[in-house]
Chains A and B, each alone.
Chain A
Amino acid sequence: MQIAKRALFAVAVIGLAARPASAQIDLSGIWAPIMHEDQAERAPGPEIGDYAGLPITDAARSRGLTWDASLLTMPEHQCQPHPSTYGFRGVGNLRIWVDQDPQTQQVMSINTQIQWMEQRRKIWMDGRPHPPEYAAHTWQGFSTGHWEGDVLVVQTDHLKAGWIRRNGLPLSDKAGMEDRFIRHGDLMTHISMVYDPFYTSEPVVKTNGFRLGLANRLDPYPCESVTEVVRAKGAVPSHLPGTNKAIEEYAAKYNMPVAAAAGGADTALPEFAAKLKTMPVPAKAK
C-alpha cells in the first residue's frame, strides 16, 4: 500500500512538472517612470497653448483656450490628483501589487499606486461587471483587467472629468481608457489609449516606460487645501472667447506655424512635417 501510494504520488509530481507554465507575468514592485520622452510636459508641465500632435476636437481646443492656470490655485482644485488617464505619464514612482484570495490564491485584483497625490487604482481581475451608469465616478475610474499572453489589458470607465494634457485640454466624465502593461525584464512599457466622445477625434495613444528598482520607494503625499488667492466668492478664473492668444504665443516662441500648435489628429502624421515647412510662422512678440 505504501509503495503504491508513493508511486502514484511520484507520477503526479512528474505529471505536474511536464505541464507548461501559464502565460502571465508578475508586475509587482516599485517602478520608476523613465522621463526620456516628453520630459518637459510630464515633469515641470506643458506650455500653455501647446496642443501639437494631439487628436483633439474643436471643442477641446476651445476649452483649452478658456482654461486659466490660476484655476489650480482654487482650494477645491489644489488637491485633485491625476486621473488614471493621465497619471501614468506624470511624476512619481509607481507601485504595483497583487491581492489574492487567501484560500484559492486566485488573483482578485492588481493594484497600482502612483506617488504624486497618492493615485490609488484597483484593477479587478475576477471578472466582475462594471458598476451601473448612476454609480459614482472616481479619479482612477473603475477598472477590470485580463491577460493577453503576458500583457495586462485593462478597461476603465466611471472616470471623473479630467485632462488630456494639464494645460486645459479636458476629458469629460464620459471618457474611457484601455491601457496595457508590457514587461520586458526590468523595463515596463505602459500603453494608454484614451477616448472621449466630445474631446478626442480618435483615441489618444501614448506609450512610456518604467524601470523596476529594488531600492525604489513610494513616499506618502498628503495634501491640504488653503486659500492662495483672495477672490470674490464663486469667481472661476477663465479666458473669454477670442481673448487667449496662448497658441499664437507658443507657436511664435518655437518658430512653428499656429496650425501645428493648435493640434488635431493630422499634426501627428509624418506628412505634417513637410507641411510645416510651407506654413507661415508668427512673429515673436517684441
Chain B
Amino acid sequence: MRKFAVVTGLIALSAAGLGAQSASTEIKSLHVQGNVWMLVGPVSNAVIQIGDDGVLVVDAMMEQQADAMVAEIKRLAGPNRIIRYLINTHVHLDHTGGNEKVAGAGRTIVAGNFAGQVAADSPATIIAHENVLNRMSAPTGKQASRATAAWPSDTFFDEEKDIFFNGEGIQLIHIPAAHTDGDVMVYFRKSDVIAAGDLYVNNTFPIVSIAEGGNYKGSVAALNRMIDIAIPRDKEEGGTWIVPGHGRLADEADVVDYRDMATVIHDRFADAIKKGMTLEQVKNARLVQDYGRWASDTGFWTTDKFVEAVYASLKPEPPKAPAAKTPAKPAAGGKK
C-alpha cells in the first residue's frame, strides 16, 4: 500500500506542530443541553456530563490544558462530584494528551469481585475502542507511544458499548476506518447531545489519518450516522446538539451542510479516479476550491493533506500479484 508521508504527521501531533495555540490554557465552557457541557480549549473541544453519579468526561485535550480543564470541571460540577469516567473518542494527543491528569483527578468506581484488587484511589476509568489502546501501547519488549497511565483501562472491539450514568443511557458508537481506526462518537440519549470527536469538525475539511487506519469513506459514513441519530427540534434547528472535536457547537443542519460538502467532494474524486487521473492531476483540477470555508494552507491539516487523504482513500487497491505456484511433490514410492 502506498504510504503518504504527510499523513503520518498526525501520529506525532505535537505542540510544535500546533504552535502557540497549544501553549494556551484558557478553557471556556458552554452548557449545551440537559446534563452536558462543552469545554472549548485553544486546540480542541471536550465534553462533560455532570450529575449526581459524578462526572463523565469525553476527551482530555492536550496535556498542557489538562490542569485548566480539571479546574473548569470542578468549577462546573462542584467539589463533591468526582470524575468517574473518561472516554477517548480516538487516539490523538489533542484529545488524549491530558488522559493522565484528567483521569488522575477522578476515581474509578470499585466494587464487587475487584474491590480487593483495585486500589481505592485508582484513577477514573478510561474507556476507548480497543484500537486506541493498541496504538498507545506496544507488544512486550517494544516501546509504547504513551505512558501506561494514559492507556484506556476499559476497551471494547465491536460496534457499540453502552453505559448508563447520571440518569441517562450513553452510547459509544464505533465507526470503523474513519478519522482513524479507533473512533467513537458518544451519544447522550436523554441530554440529546452527540460528542463527535474528530468524526465531525467544522473548522476544517474532514481529518483523515490513513496511517492510523482512517479512510475518507468512513468519515462520510460517520457524518451520515450522526444525521441518522440527530432529530431537530423545529425547522431543522436545535433538538440534538453535536459537539465537534474542533469548532463550534452544531446541530443537524450544520452536520448536513458538512456532510453534503464531504459527499460532493467524494463524488468528484471518485469520478476523477475513475477517469484515471493521478494525484497531481487531481490537485491541479482544484476539485475543492469552491469549499474555501474549510480550506487551510497552515496548521496540521492543510487542504493539500486533505486532498491526498481523499485520493488515497478512494483510489482502488492495486490487484494483488497471483501466488507463486509450488511444484507438486512426487507421490511416495512413485516412479522417478
- Physical contact A–B (CB less than 8 Å): yes
Chain A residues in the interface with B (C-beta under 8 A): 58-60, 62-63, 66, 71, 76-77, 79-81, 117-118, 132-139, 160-161, 172-174, 198, 223, 233-236, 238, 240-241
Tell me whether A173 and B259 are in contact (CB under 8 A): no
Q: How far is the CA of A45 from the CA of B234 in the complex (A)?
A: 24
B264–A236 touching, CB < 8 Å: yes
Docked CA distance A234–B260 (Å) = 9
Contact of B292 with A by CB under 8 A? yes
Residue of B nearest to A64 (CB): B290
Verify A135–B30 contact, CB threshold 8 A: yes
Chain A minimum-CB-distance residue to B294: A172
If A136-B241, A240-B271 touch, whether A63 touches B253 (CB-CB below 8 Å) is no
Interface residues on chain B, size class: 35 or more
Known: A66-B290, A134-B249, A160-B257. A223 touches B235 (CB 8 A): yes
Whether A135 pairs with B235 at a CB distance below 8 angstroms is: no
A184, chain B: closest CB distance, angstroms? 32
Residue numbers in A under 8 Å from B91 (CB-CB): none
Contact B248 A134 (CB under 8 A): yes
Given A134-B30, A137-B254, A160-B253, verify A76-B236 contact (CB < 8 Å): yes
Min CB distance B65 to A, Å, is: 15
Q: From residue 241 to 276 of chain B, which have CB atoms closer than 8 A to chain A? A: 241, 247-254, 256-257, 259-260, 263-264, 267-268, 271
Query: Do the beta carbons of B224 and A139 come within 8 Å of each other?
Result: no
B62 on the A face (CB < 8 A): no
* B237–A139 touching, CB < 8 Å: yes
Q: Which residue in chain A gives the minimum CB-CB distance to B271?
A: A240
Establish whether residues B224 and A234, one from each chain, have CB atoms under 8 Å apart when the complex forms.
yes
* 7 A-B interface contacts by CB (under 8 A): A63-B291, A66-B290, A71-B260, A132-B30, A136-B241, A173-B293, A235-B263
Chain B residues near A58 (CB-CB < 8 A): 289-290
**Residues of chain B contacted by A238 (CB below 8 angstroms):** 260, 263-264, 267
Known contacts A76-B236, A118-B235, A223-B235, A62 near B290 by CB under 8 Å: yes
Query: B232 to chain A: which residues have CB within 8 Å?
Result: 79
- The smallest beta-carbon distance between A120 and chain B, in angstroms, is 9
Question: Is B60 among interface residues, defined by CB-CB distance under 8 A?
Answer: no
Residues on B with beta carbons closer than 8 Å to the beta carbon of A161 = 254, 257, 293
Q: Is the CB of B254 within 8 A of A160?
A: yes
Q: Which of B248, B257, B263 contacts A133 (CB 8 A)?
A: B248
- Is the CB–CB distance between B248 and A80 below 8 Å? no
Q: Residue on B with the closest CB to A77?
A: B256
A117 and B237 CA atoms in complex are apart in Å by: 12
Of A117, A174, A241, which one neighbours B293 at CB under 8 angstroms?
A174
Contacts A134-B249, A135-B248, A233-B224 given; does A66 touch B264 at CB 8 Å = yes
Residues of B within 8 A of A (CB): 28, 30, 38, 40, 45, 202, 220-221, 224, 227, 232, 234-237, 241, 247-254, 256-257, 259-260, 263-264, 267-268, 271, 285, 287, 289-293
Q: Is the CB of B287 within 8 A of A241?
A: yes
Beta-carbon contact of A80 and B264 below 8 Å: no
Contact A76 B221 (CB under 8 A): no
CB distance from A126 to the nearest CB of B (A): 21
Q: Which residues of B contact A223 (CB under 8 A)?
A: 235
Q: Would A59 and B292 be within 8 Å (CB), given that A71-B260, A77-B256 are in contact?
A: yes
By beta carbon, the residue of chain A nearest B292 is A198
**CB of A56, distance to nearest CB on chain B (Å):** 11
Residues of chain B within 8 A of A160, CB atoms compared: 237, 253-254, 257
Query: Which of A58, A76, A133 has the most CB atoms of chain B within a 10 A radius of its CB?
Result: A76
Of A60, A62, A80, A236, the residue contacting B263 (CB under 8 A) is A236
> Which chain A positions have C-beta within 8 A of B260?
71, 236, 238
A139 adjacent to B38 (CB under 8 Å): no
- Does the CB pair B235–A81 fall under 8 Å? yes
| Beta-carbon contact of A137 and B248 below 8 Å | yes
Contact between chains at A59 and B290 (CB < 8 Å): yes
Contact of A234 among B30, B221, B235, B292 (CB under 8 A): B221
Beyond A63-B291, A117-B235, A118-B234: 17 further Cβ-contacts under 8 Å? A62-B289, A76-B252, A81-B235, A134-B247, A135-B248, A135-B249, A136-B249, A136-B250, A139-B235, A160-B254, A161-B293, A173-B293, A235-B263, A236-B259, A236-B263, A238-B263, A238-B267
Q: Smallest distance from the beta carbon of A240 to chain B beta carbons, Å?
A: 5
A235 CA to B260 CA, complexed, in Å = 9
Please, which residue of chain B has its CB at the minimum distance from the CB of A223?
Answer: B235
A176 and B268 CA atoms in complex are apart in Å by 29
User: Cα distance A51–B237 when bound, in Å?
Assistant: 28
A236 CB contacts on chain B under 8 angstroms: 259-260, 263-264, 267
**Distance between A149 CB and nearest chain B CB, rounded to angstroms:** 34
Cβ distance A220 to chain B, nearest Cβ, rounded Å? 11
Smallest Cβ distance from A68 to chain B, in angstroms? 10
Measured between beta carbons, the chain A residues less than 8 angstroms from B252 are: 76
A60 to B202, CA, bound (A): 19
Roughly how many angstroms separate A161 CA and B28 CA in the complex, as a whole number?
Answer: 25
From B257, which residue of chain A is reached at the shortest CB distance?
A161
- Given A79-B236, A80-B235, A138-B237, is A132 in contact with B290 using a C-beta cutoff of 8 Å? no
In the complex, chain B residues whose CB is within 8 Å of the CB of A117: 235
| Chain A residues positioned under 8 Å from B287 (CB to CB) | 241
Q: Is the CB of A76 within 8 A of B235?
A: no
Cβ A63 vs Cβ B235 within 8 A: no
Q: Roughly how many angstroms separate A174 CA and B294 CA in the complex, as a whole number?
A: 11
